[in-house]
């Protein structure tokens, strides 16, 4: 019976481990394509100034082709943000930098470029403050210090150790001192593993359960309804780089939530969704 239990634990662990490992590696072909695009980016600076914006735009679109294949990387989003910025697409650049912070939240280059492009610095790797739970982030203080993949890796690693210790205790004589210590350690490590899993789940909640947008024009004027005929929603225009949560859409208009549940409508052409 004990052997069957051990076998079951090992199978569950291998399945769980294999499901997480796929997040961290990319194929040689993808890496080669990424390097070729980066080489093209580096060469754009040698072109005539009039040709550079369009050339940078083509580079940004090529980076997008990698993203469309399901590749997710902070460096990839960062490079795309740089390409969009030099192409004159500041809104798209800010959106790319926001996405890059999800994977590399402590990267000072991304934060510096985000500020330089005019993006709000309240993103903190979460996309927008409205998609965050303040009390939760106070307790899980590391949430915006560690990237998404690092959290997943730690969760898998902690789970692996938990399964190993669970298997080990089956071979320890019950009632002994070592058994009691090991049993207490299992309880403690279960809590640690659970916290790590909740941290990963919270990233899923704030990144995948919300759709975000960034204002891509100077001094946007959100309306109280989905038409220019409605009154202005705010007394002051909304500056470029402001983040919002998309809570609905109607035709060519998006229903956005700014900050403390301030809802307004804005044309899709004035924002970049991410």
- Domain range summary for the chain, segments of one domain joined by +: 2-22+137-208, 28-123, 211-273
Helix (H) or strand (E) holding 271: strand 271-273
**Residues listed for the chain:** 274
Alpha carbon 209 to chain centroid, angstroms: 12
DSSP 3-state assignment of 138? helix
Same CATH topology for 28-123 and 211-273: the answer is: no
The pLDDT of 173-188, averaged and rounded, is 87
What is the third-level CATH fold of 211-273? SH3 type barrels. (2.30.30)
Q: Write out pLDDT tens, residues 109-161.
A: 999 999 998 876 444 334 444 455 667 777 888 888 889 988 999 999 999 89
Q: Distance between CA atoms of 87 and 51, rounded to whole angstroms? A: 10
- The most confident of the ranges 1-10, 18-27, 129-138, 221-230 is 221-230
Q: Which two tokens stand for residue 254?
A: 């998006």
Query: 55 falls in which pLDDT band (50, 70, 90)?
Result: very high
Q: Write out pLDDT tens, residues 203-240.
A: 888 888 889 999 999 989 999 999 999 999 998 999 99
| CATH dotted code for 28-123 | 1.25.40.10
Side by side, which strands form the sheet with 243-250? Answer: 262-267, 253-258, 243-250, 211-215, 271-273
Q: Say whether pLDDT at 172 is over 90.
A: no
Q: What is the pLDDT of residue 120?
A: 61
Instruction: Quote the pTM value.
Output: 0.81
Per the prediction, the chain carries an average pLDDT of 84
């Amino acid at each position: 019976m004990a052997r069957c239990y051990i076998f079951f634990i090992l199978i569950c662990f291998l399945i769980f481990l294999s499901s997480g490992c796929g997040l961290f590696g990319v194929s040689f072909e993808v890496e080669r394509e990424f390097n070729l695009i980066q080489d093209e980016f580096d060469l754009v600076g040698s072109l005539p100034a009039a040709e550079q914006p369009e050339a940078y735009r083509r580079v940004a679109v090529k980076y997008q082709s990698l993203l469309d294949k399901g590749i997710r990387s902070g460096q990839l989003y960062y490079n795309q943000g740089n390409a969009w910025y030099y192409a004159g697409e500041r809104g798209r650049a800010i959106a790319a930098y926001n996405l890059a912070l999800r994977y590399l939240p402590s990267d000072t280059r991304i934060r510096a470029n985000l500020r330089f492009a005019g993006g709000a610095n309240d993103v903190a790797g979460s996309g927008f403050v409205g998609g965050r739970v303040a009390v939760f982030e106070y307790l899980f203080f590391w949430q915006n210090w560690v990237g998404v993949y690092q959290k997943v890796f730690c969760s898998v690693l902690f789970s692996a150790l938990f399964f190993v210790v669970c298997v080990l205790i089956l071979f320890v004589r019950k009632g002994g001192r070592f058994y009691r210590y090991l049993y207490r350690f299992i309880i403690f490590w279960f809590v640690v593993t659970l916290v790590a899993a909740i941290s990963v789940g919270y990233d899923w909640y704030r990144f995948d359960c919300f759709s975000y947008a960034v204002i891509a024009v100077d001094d946007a004027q959100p309306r109280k309804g989905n038409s220019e005929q409605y009154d202005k929603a705010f007394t002051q225009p909304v500056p470029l780089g402001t983040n919002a949560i998309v809570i609905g859409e109607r035709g060519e208009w998006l229903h956005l939530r700014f900050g403390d549940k301030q809802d307004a409508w804005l044309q899709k052409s004035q924002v970049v969704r991410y």
